[in-house]
Amino acid sequence: MQELYNKIFDAGCIKFGEFKLKSGIMSPVYCDFRGLISKPDLLTEVGKALSDRAKEIGCDRVCGIPYAGLPLGVAAAMTGNIPLIYPRKEAKSYGTKKLIEGAYNDGDRVLVIDDIVTDGASKIEAIEPLKECGVVVTDILIILDREQGGDKILADAGYKLHSLGKLSEVLDCLVKCGKVEPEMKDKVAKFIAENQFAAVKQIKKENR
């Protein structure tokens, strides 16, 4: 995976500096894989890595979560010849009024694909309409785990998280290749250790 990490970094998908996350927290690292759609060769390579892992996990369908996960799901489906479905952001108000696009059967094992996980909340929300349509979702596959407790939150909700890599592994690779200074690696590691969403969720649960 080291070569793929390098390509992903060179494509600008992993940046270092000061970035405001969705949660409002300022982070020294920002991961954005949406730019892969403009790099078809790299998107295909990532799709192949995802489809290989999907076959190891086992599934009848893959499901890309809009918006970031949808092109990744398409890439995995095409490189691995695995059928794809995806949930709409809202049901159509005309025609078939579908909430889920693509063919599927009750009881199909569906592997959810997305780009990254932080606290896991968006994954749990996106899975609900899939379950309501009768498919079975137990596993989620992503490109990168930020290692901020999302895996534990998803496990508490009944889902197993799989990733092509973890942020700490990517940092080790980039430092080894001379693309990131050791000081930045240490800064990111400190940030991750101090911002664990699973720990925050547990504290809130205990204080109820």
Res 204: pLDDT: 42
CB of 159 within 8 A of CB of 114? no
Crossing angle of the two packed helices 2-10 and 40-57, in degrees rounded to 10: 140
* CATH class of the structural domain 2-203: alpha beta
Q: Where are the domains of the chain?
A: 2-203
Instruction: Encode the chain (208 residues) as per-residue pLDDT tens digits.
Output: 889 999 999 999 999 999 998 778 899 999 999 999 999 999 999 999 999 999 999 999 999 998 899 999 999 999 999 999 999 876 655 555 678 999 999 999 999 999 999 888 889 999 999 999 999 999 999 999 999 999 999 999 999 999 999 999 999 999 999 999 999 999 999 999 999 987 444 434 433 4
Half-sphere exposure of residue 150: CA atoms within 13 angstroms, side-chain side: 23
